[in-house]
Amino acid sequence: MEFLKKNPKIFQWLFLLIVFFALCFAIEVPETYKFIRGQAEFIKDPNQSTFVFAGKEVRYYAFDVFWRLPPLLGWLPIWINDSLFFLMNDWMPMEFWNEDTQEFKTRPLLLQISRNLTGFMTFIIELIREILLGGLETIVAFTSWDFIDANPWAELPGLPWTIVAAGATILSYKLSGKGLAIFAGLTMVYISIFGQWKPSMQTLSFILVAAPLSFIFGLGLGISAFKSKRVEKALYPILLVMQTMPQYAVLVPALVLFGVGDHAAVIITMIVAIPPMILLTLLGLRAIPPEVIEAGRMSGCNNWQLMLKVLIPTARRDILIGVNQVIMVCFSMAVISAFIGAKGLGFNLLLALNQLNIGLALEAGLCISLIAILLDKMSLAWANKQTDYFGNLSFFERNKNTIFFIGAFVIGIILAYIGTFLFKGTFNYLFEIPHNKGISTADFWNKGVDWIFDTFFVYIKAFNTWLIQEVLQPMRALYLRMPAVATIVLVVGAGYLIGGIRSALVVCGLTLFIALSPWWDRALVTTYMATFGVIISCLIGFTVGTLCFQSKGAAKFMLGVCDIFQTFPSFVYLIPVMMLFGITDTSVLIAVIVYATIPATRYTIEGLRSVPVGLHEAATMSGVNKFQRLTKIEFPLAFPHMMLGLNQTIVFALFMVIIGAFIGTEDLGQYILKALSDKNGAGIGLTLGICVAFIGLIFDNLIRTWVGKRKKHLGIA
């Protein structure tokens, strides 16, 4: 009792938990409740209750309101859907001039805007794609098909792969030096030899459009948010939700707005990639010491000069992390947007996964990852580049890279020309190695997978069964037992204890939204998978991070590994786990764990590193041993930062759980995936996405509030 009196917080937490469990036990599971598989709730059932709101009829199974709240927000997806259709098809019809038919045509404004936007996107993507691969579309865009028929020569020839490879190598050399140049060269040669050239260039053209556009818009919006409080206030909630919104969920409404294809994929990618860019730009600009800004002003900068020459370069570090994020998201989306018809490696990867051809999937995945790492490193090197004013260089020295490229260009063309004689009747391997005609290791991998399966089948199966029956099923059952009211009490109580009334109200709102949506039990399943992943990830991440922290070299190495792993598109993680565990929940969970361990490890190392050296010395002089130093000094001080890591771990885990729907889960993600192929799916997809985002935001709010308070308490804010 003495102890409790001294620590009233612990008493309050205990009380909260007791209330929560009491409620869980007091509210019985209704006998009629079944965890419905699939889309059973779309079937009309006389036992269902209905209500009408804003003209939309919502059907649902009614339970004791303490157990499951009625889906009072059930009209929202339908309403979103109808509004979208209305906006696209009926809102503000206007006369537009149609080039093809040479007459005015009536079209809704939004549809016309969308068509123009997508037309523009398509044009840029096609332009880059045809420079790399050759084609007709660009010339058609300026002339017409008739012109092409009349002039058979009018075709962009495309660059031989040798020239692109040489170009990438020389550019890498110019930006960073030998190391990156070798990496770039090997990557390009690998891609070509393994016959992934065409899909790789398709993906690349997609990224070369999406990444710069996201960067520019993100930077611009970040700057305007920095300059105007009003813009910031307007953007902030959107940014927050987008940070935790699964990328799948954005696909569905975009499908309605922009149709199917690469152009839609680019727009979606921008929507997903811009928010982190804005946030990091804002963060970087905020961190600039006011005196630097004043120094710029006193140097006589006008607003533009101040922004371009002082603010942005000074905030470079954070803006670069933003660029890094943009590239990551772009590659991640390059795969995911294959669902809405983007061509390239992502499409091949999905196809291969669908056919359970692990070897092919692995090859495509490796290509994406290699290109992702290459672009990431190149963008970093570009931003860190310096000019030397005092080098007295000859013309050749100054222009040697250009000269080399021109040389490589000529040689490449000559080679390709020779190739036309060399490979008469077959494919010109010096121009482009076609898909499936390169070396393929797919068979090797597939056989490997088969071998692993044959050899270890018993063990894998046993482990799998044990995990599912003994751990996962009971855990899931426990989560599903959680009555809505009890959960709300728990979350709101935690919010109140951590951040006071304000925090409590915010998390209450977020939880209520999920509880009043038709998918409370799905949300519980999502939460269960995410929690399981997060717990294991944190255990691994904190342990590995702490161990690596003991040696400087190991810590640096580990951070490098985290960097590289983070660059992999999230879908790639599914490949090896499917190799081992096939299509089960275990696969998803292992992918979740691997993916979510990255931030857990990174933040642990960074947090421990941030403990001031002075404290180390003070501790050593007080005569603590290594272990005591770790537990008494470093952990308490690094803990807030590590909790931010937990926050990231949760977001990563949620993302992967949702992507795991591709393998087959029973949670919100599965519904999002289904919404993709549903004509009326836009509203459902978006609402589901918001639900997932809100799960993330509940944790985000609680953790951030706690970290803020703790940091203030420790004086390291």
Give residue 622's identity as a one-letter amino acid code. S
**What number of other Cβ atoms are within 10 A of residue 150's Cβ?**
10
Does 100 engage in binding with another protein (CB under 8 A)?
no
- Contact between 300 and another protein by CB under 8 A: the answer reads yes
Q: Binding to another protein by residue 310, rule CB under 8 A?
A: yes
Residue with Cβ nearer another protein (105 or 385): 385
Asked if 103 is part of the footprint of another protein (rule: CB under 8 A), the reply reads no
Nearer to another protein among residue 219 and residue 488 (C-beta): 219
Residues 633-645, buried b or exposed e (16+ Cβ, 10 A)? bbbebbbbbbbbb
52: phi then psi, degrees, rounded to nearest 5: -120, 125
Does 425 sit near another protein (CB under 8 A)? no
State the DSSP code for 470. I
- Least distance in Å: CB of 380 to another protein? 14
Residue 454 interacts with another protein (CB under 8 A): yes or no: no
**Which of the stretches 291-299, 393-401, 522-530, 623-631 binds another protein when contact is defined by CB under 8 A?**
291-299
Stretch that binds another protein, among 90-98, 134-142, 385-393, 472-480 (CB under 8 A): 385-393
Q: Report the nearest approach of another protein to the CB of residue 229 (Å).
A: 13
Q: Which helix (H) or strand (E) holds 427?
A: none
The contacts of residue 557 (CB under 8 Å, 6+ apart) are 548
Which residue stretch of 311-319, 428-436, 577-585, 656-664 sits at the interface with another protein (rule: CB under 8 A)? Answer: 311-319
Tell me which H or E stretch contains 80: helix 75-89
CA distances from 397 to 298, 386, 402, 519 (A): 38, 16, 10, 65
If the CB atoms of residues 301 and 411 are measured against another protein, the closer one turns out to be: 301
Q: How far does Cα 343 stand from its chain's mean position?
A: 19
Residues binding another protein: what is the number (CB under 8 A)?
A: 22
Positions in 582-611 near another protein (CB under 8 A)? none
CA pair distance 184, 175, nearest whole angstrom: 12
Verify binding: residue 289, another protein, rule CB under 8 A. yes
Which one of 205, 269, 314, 446 is in contact with another protein (CB under 8 A)? 314
Sign of CA dihedral 485, 491, 494, 498: negative
Nearest distance from C-beta of residue 311 to another protein, angstroms: 10
Which positions ≥6 away from 231 have C-beta within 8 Å?
Answer: 221, 224, 225
* Residue closer to another protein (CB basis): 380 or 579: 380
Q: Applying CB under 8 A, does 291 fall inside the site for another protein?
A: yes
Query: Is there binding between residue 292 and another protein (CB under 8 A)?
Result: yes
Chosen residue from 57, 294, 470, 617 binding another protein by CB under 8 A = 294
Residue among 679, 696, 675, 697 at smallest CA distance from 687: 675
Q: What is the closest distance, in whole angstroms, from the C-beta atom of residue 290 to another protein in the complex?
A: 9
Residue span binding another protein (CB under 8 A) among the ranges 27-35, 53-61, 253-261, 287-295: 287-295
Q: Give 319 or 663: the residue with its C-beta nearer to another protein.
A: 319
392 counts as binding another protein under rule CB under 8 A: no
* Residue 32 or 386 having the CB closest to another protein: 386
| Binding flag, residue 389, another protein (CB under 8 A) | yes
Structure tokens at 79: 């309403």
Burial class of residue 375 (count of CB atoms within 10 Å of its CB; 0-12, 13-18, 19+) = buried
Task: Specify the residue for token string 């206007």.
Answer: 94
- Of 298, 501, 613, 621, the residue at the interface with another protein (CB under 8 A) is 298
Stretch that binds another protein, among 140-148, 194-202, 203-211, 300-308 (CB under 8 A): 300-308
Judged by CB under 8 A, the stretch of 18-26, 144-152, 190-198, 305-313 that binds another protein is 305-313
Using the rule CB under 8 A, which residue among 12, 224, 305, 680 binds another protein?
305
588 SS3 class: helix
Using CB under 8 A, pick the residue from 3, 153, 390, 459 that binds another protein: 390
437 φ/ψ angles, rounded to the nearest 5 degrees? -105, -5
Comparison of 124 and 307: residue with beta carbon closer to another protein: 307
Distant-in-sequence contacts of 478-483, Cβ < 8 A, 24+ apart: 479/524, 479/525, 479/527, 479/528, 479/531, 480/35, 480/521, 480/524, 480/525, 480/528, 481/24, 481/29, 482/24, 482/524, 483/23, 483/24, 483/27, 483/66, 483/67, 483/68
**Residue 178: exposed, middle, or buried by beta-carbon count in 10 A (0-12, 13-18, 19+)?**
exposed
Query: Could you list the residues that contact another protein (CB under 8 A)?
Result: 289, 291-292, 294-302, 305, 309-310, 313-314, 316, 386, 388-390
